[in-house]
Structure 1
Amino acid sequence: MRTFHAAPLAPSARTARPHARRRLAGAVMASLVALSLTACQDGKGFKDGGEASASGSAGVATAGPATAAPSTAPSTDASSAPGAAPAPKTSPAPSAASGAGERVLCNGSTTRVTVQPVSRPLNHMLITVKNTGSKTCDLTYHPVLRFDEMQWVPAARPETKPQAVVSLAPGESGYAGVLLSAADGSGEGATTGHRLMIAFQGRTPLSDGGASATPDLPAAGVVYDSSLTVTYWQRSSADALAS
């Protein structure tokens, strides 16, 4: 699959106003989408480097247990002496269940993603992500959108950044709002999108969050222009569509 490099839309000859929103995304955001195109072929998403292993510290040697010389002396264990009370039997301490309390990332493999154009606010679309897994998942930062063969990355509106990461218990949903086009007609290059890919971010900004999602769009497609922006993930649909 070809990798597309983000290139901001050229402003109209009649308009000298810079597109501040598009520059906000930057080339790094574009690389996230380009990588997700490659990753979506096998449904596994990107590979995260993860944390460094503590066992990799240099200069630390782990010594094995010393081997004691065999002893021919009789055992002096008090429990084996005649008339001694038998030693109580003990069970090993229970270990924590593997994965207990573990939090995972919300992505295309742990959720069901749907999109729906709304009548109010005007020219908006709502993204809904429902946790279909058995563990709490985190929706980090904001969705990264790509319609069809779009070669630029829609920016996220910074004023919509929540104070805390949106976490979804199994069965819960999170939301993001999409401004498709400016109501005042200031956007340029109106285009109808027929396919949408949504990439998820990891624990650090712009890192890989796993499998992407390709939710169904209306049969007629979705019209967007250079005003296309997205909110950060929100706890409620009202918050996602508030701005």
Structure 2
Amino acid sequence: MRTNRIRTTAIAATALVAALSLTACGGEDEALGTKPAGTAETATPAATSTDGKAQQDAPEAGAPETQTVPSEGKHAGGNGGTPSKKSETAPTAKSNTNATAIPACTPKNSKVKVSSVTRPINHLLLTVTNTGSKDCAAYHAPFLRFDNAQAVYPILDDSKPQAVVVLSPGQEAYAGVGLLGEPGENKPVKSANLGVIMVDKNNKSKGEATLKLPAKTYTDGLGFVTYWQSDVETALMY
């Protein structure tokens, strides 16, 4: 029993000495200003006033930037300041177009002829040639009259080209003439003469040329004439 008490007392004394040693070490660490492991402090910004000013000076996210344009000096592509008076009164595209319009081909500056074709059947071919010294335009479609008829021949709207045919001196334009309508609608009449009326860009008459038709030309007045084309194949494809 005595032996057990001595051992117990010795163990308790040893534990007490160890505890006092740890306490003394902790106090020494605090005195030296050190912290135990695992207790690191969170860093706090020192200059808060400077950061606050930077945030105020920074632009808001998504806000458009503004630039100050000098009241004088040159900008890219032109002079700065208010536009000149000349730029305010610049001509429009419409006035430019009117000023540079090409004169129409008329009996005075061109020649028209008519000829028969083998294909397609019951068709004629009109050809206009620029005989002048300047460009002319074959506007729209010619107005046709067979044997001094009061009404002009029907014009085929589906043949309208994408652009007006412009002829340099010596060049030609073409129009196809279908002589007959649907079979049985009217009795064909033999015609000897053909009146060809050229028009300007406003579809107004600019003079008439009278041509002698090929022999045995028959029409029932229900045919058509195409717009002026730049090639024979297109004029006779209808």
TM-score where L is the length of structure 2: 0.55
Q: Which runs of 5+ in 1 are unaligned?
A: 1-100
Quick check: 1:217 aligned with 2:217? no
Decide whether aligned partners of structure 1 residues 102 and 159 sit closer, same or farther in structure 2, where only a CA change above 3 A counts: closer
SS at match of 1:204: coil
Of structures 1 and 2, the larger Rg is shown by 2
Among 192, 201, 204, which residue is 1:203 paired with?
201
CA distance in 1, matches of 2:162, 2:191: 32
Among 228, 232, 241, which residue is 2:236 paired with?
241
Higher strand share: 2
Q: Which runs of 5+ in 2 are unaligned?
A: 1-99
CA contact (8 A) 1:130 1:172 kept: yes
Pairwise CA RMSD: 1.7
Aligned to 1:168: 167
Higher helix share: 2
CA distance in 1, matches of 2:184, 2:138: 31
Aligned to 1:144: 143
- % same residue: 37
Higher normalized contact order (CA 8 Å, seq sep 6+, divided by chain length): 1
CA contact (8 A) 2:148 2:195 kept: no
TM-superposed deviation, 1:103: 3.0
Q: Which runs of 4+ in 1 moved over 6 A?
A: none
Decide whether aligned partners of structure 1 residues 187 and 110 sit closer, same or farther in structure 2, where only a CA change above 3 A counts: farther
CA distance in 1, matches of 2:106, 2:190: 26
TM-score where L is the length of structure 1: 0.54
TM-superposed deviation, 1:226: 3.0
Aligned to 2:122: 123
Structure-to-structure mapping, 1:148-159, within 5 angstroms: 148-159=147-158
